[in-house]
Structure formats: structure tokens, C-alpha cells
Amino acid sequence: QMCIRDRYKIDLRKRGGTVLLALDVGNTNIVIGILDGDKLIKSGRISTDIYKTEDEYAMNMYSFLRLNHALDIDGAIISSVVPALVRTLVKAVKTVCDVDALVVGPGIKTGLSIKIDDPAQLGADLVVGAVAAKEKYPQPTIIFDMGTATTGFVLDRDANFIGGIITTGLKTSINALTAGAALLPQIDISAPKKVIGTNSIECMKSGCIIGTACMLDGLIDKFEEELGEKATVIVTGGLGQAIAEQCSHDMIIDKNLLIDGLKIIYNKNIDTRR
């Protein structure tokens, strides 16, 4: 079967290494990254929809790659917290790029030591983020991922994954609040002018945005108390920057943490597949 790449040739710029397609599948969005060697060329987002077909995802993928002059893909890797989409996306990648995507899961080399009750329960996104944090930053490390859920997990001084917290994501909380309270409107994710709000929208922004920032600050204090030392704090996810800017602790905003983690995991496994 002829793949899309064979039917539509696009001249690429001179490349510096393996061109990798990385897909981080979340509950709300799929983050797509194109990497040329160690360099991230382009990243973007498409909506996660379990009802989309293989062909629909293939068309989304093809359009994104063609817009960025990167149809000539050498390899692909997928992490997903939506199991129902894995097979569909693997097929879509094969259709568009004619490569077999590596899927983060059991049997994949990560180099991560997981010290929790049941390592099999650890989501692929948390594994990928921890792998990147282990490689890129001093330990111990606290990693906050601000998406559909807010997660906060800890690597100790030896880069062991030792656990953390999961709570409701900011947008999830806002949606629940407006759905349950008829007089409260939807709000945009931006900081209020002051903490003590004087109207409904400002009060909601203060409660949701400043409240979430205060939660992160408090968790950092508790995590560091249990660790017995200061930690490097990393914030990622679609809402990470908006919240981190309101926190009192020093934080590194790393929007591409999971894409970098996927690249690292791909490199650890690619030689064994040849």
C-alpha cells in the first residue's frame, strides 16, 4: 500500500539528523512535535477525540506535517493516556509517514527507576515527563503538569520516581463550577488585577488561578519538607505558564518537557529495533 508520503513529495531543507514525529496524547489535546535530531522544529496541538477515525487523524497529521515541510519522517513515538486511541494513531502514522511508531508502555526502555506501590499504574505521560526531568535538570525534581488533571510528582536526589499528587485540572474545575452554578460565567485563564475580587469574574479568577498557584506553592513546601532538601521545580502543560507566573517559588517553565522525554525514550529504544 502506497503511503501518503510517497504520493506527495515535498522538498525538505538540508537536515541535521533523524527527523522524529512525537505524539503526546492527553485527554483534551494531542501535542505533536517534529524533531530534527535534538532540535524541536515545530510543535502544535489537535483536539483529542476518541470518535475520530484513522483516516481523520491521518489527514490532521498530514496537514500539520505538510505545513511544516516535514513529510519525510524517519521515526515516530507515541505516549497516550487515552488507550482507545493508540491503535488508531499508530495506523495513522503508518499511513502518513510509512514508519512503525514506538508506543511508550510495558517493555519500553526508559532508564527510570519507579519507587511506587504499583509501577504499572503510572501513566505514560508521567513516565515521559520524569525521563526528561531526569536528563535535563538537577535532582531532586518536582514536576507539575497542568492539563485536564493537575499532577505533581517527585524525583528524589537519585532520580528515583517516588510518587506525588493528582488533582483536578484548572479548566476542569472551572467547567464544573460554571455547570453547577447558573449565575457564574465561563472565564478566561488570566490573572486578576488583585486577589480580593470586586465582581464575579475577578473573584472567580482569583479563586481559580491564584488559588491554584497557592496550592502549588504549598505542595512544593510539603514535598521539600518530606525530601529534607530543596528541589528543582518544573512546570509544563498547556496552563503551566499562566499558573507559574503567579507562584512565589522559583520555577522552570518547560513547555516541551514531554516532547523532549519522548525523544530521549525513542533514542534509548531505537537501536534495539533495528
Give the residue numbers annotated as catalytic, written as ranges.
Answer: 125
Handedness of CA 62, 149, 245, 253 (dihedral sign): negative
Report the candidate in 112, 120, 121 with the shortest Cα–Cα distance to residue 139. 112
How many CB atoms lie under 10 A from the CB of residue 203? 16
**Is the separation of the CB atoms in 136 and 260 below 8 Å?**
yes
Angle at 16 between CA 37 and CA 73, to 5 degrees: 65
Report the candidate in 13, 12, 19 with the shortest Cα–Cα distance to residue 36. 19
Specify the DSSP class assigned to residue 18: -
Backbone φ/ψ region at 143: left (φ over 0), alpha (ψ -120 to 50), beta: beta
